[in-house]
Amino acid sequence: MNQSNIDFQRRRRLGVIEAIWGEHKTIEQISEILKQYQYESETALVTRLSKEKGEKLLVEFPSAEFHEISGCLTMGVFKEFTSSEEEVIILTGGTSDIAVASEAEIALNLHGIKTKLLIDIGVAGLHRLLNRLEEIKSAKVVIACAGMEGALPTVLAGLIPQPIIGLPVSVGYGVSGGGKTALEGMLASCAPGLLVVNIDNGYGAAMAAMRILLA
């Protein structure tokens, strides 16, 4: 098997580690990559793993941890929190968005960024958002996860001044198109300055938040 060319310089260059995409890799390929991480004494983050893959990898790497809700596997030491306060608040429009939100949360925690996850803050019941607004304003950055029409980040961006990262989720009936409607709605938002990442890209949203915090 050809050895993967891992970007171990990324943490020193950018302040973030390279995530390992697990969905389309075999267990053997992921295993070979994790061995390289062990050799370099580097912390590893594998995303988009099925429960079956995650459990099989734990047999070979017992020091790793599989986070079933997010489908992520981590191996190595999480960086100590840089602040005692939650610097990033992650919101979900509904319970179905938790997996993607959890991926973002794990990626941030791994880098020493303290987070708070608020679930079911969707705009279909606007009072749920308004009731938590003062709490949300305490964060330096907000990640807003939403499927369906993806309205949550737009509404939020019209209410608070913090940087907001819209994270479209592939949840919703028919025309929702596996998250495409949410993505296009966020991109077409009339709220100025709203940042948007790709569908279900929790890791990408986390790293966008990291870059804002490091600036």
Res 49 pLDDT > 80: yes
How far apart CA 102 and CA 39 sit, in angstroms, is 28
Query: 18 or 73: which carries more pLDDT confidence?
Result: 73
Local confidence band at 3 (pLDDT 50, 70, 90 cut-offs): low
Q: Which of the listed CATH numbers 3.40.50.1970, 3.30.460.10, 3.40.30.10, 3.40.50.300 matches domain 88-214?
A: 3.40.50.1970
Question: Which among 206, 174, 199 is positioned nearest to 97, based on CA atoms?
Answer: 199
The pLDDT score that the predictor gives to residue 157 is: 95
Strands 72-75 and 88-92 come out as unpaired
The pLDDT score that the predictor gives to residue 2 is: 59
The pLDDT score that the predictor gives to residue 12 is: 81
Q: What is the mean pLDDT of residues 75-98?
A: 91
* Pair 140, 213: CB distance under 8 Å: yes
**Which tens digits make up the pLDDT trace of 164-196?**
999 999 998 888 889 999 999 999 999 999 999
Tokens, residue 136: 């949300």
Element at 134 (helix H, strand E): helix 133-136
The pLDDT score that the predictor gives to residue 85 is: 86
Q: What is the mean pLDDT of residues 130-154?
A: 94
The domains of the chain are located at 10-75, 88-214
Tokens, residue 82: 């840089």
Local confidence band at 32 (pLDDT 50, 70, 90 cut-offs): very high
Local confidence band at 204 (pLDDT 50, 70, 90 cut-offs): very high
Please compute, for residue 124, the number of CA atoms within 13 A of its CA located in the half-sphere on the CB side: 10
Res 5 pLDDT > 80: no
Residue type, position 166, single letter = G
How far apart CA 140 and CA 86 sit, in angstroms, is 8
Q: Tell me the pTM.
A: 0.92
The pLDDT score that the predictor gives to residue 185 is: 95
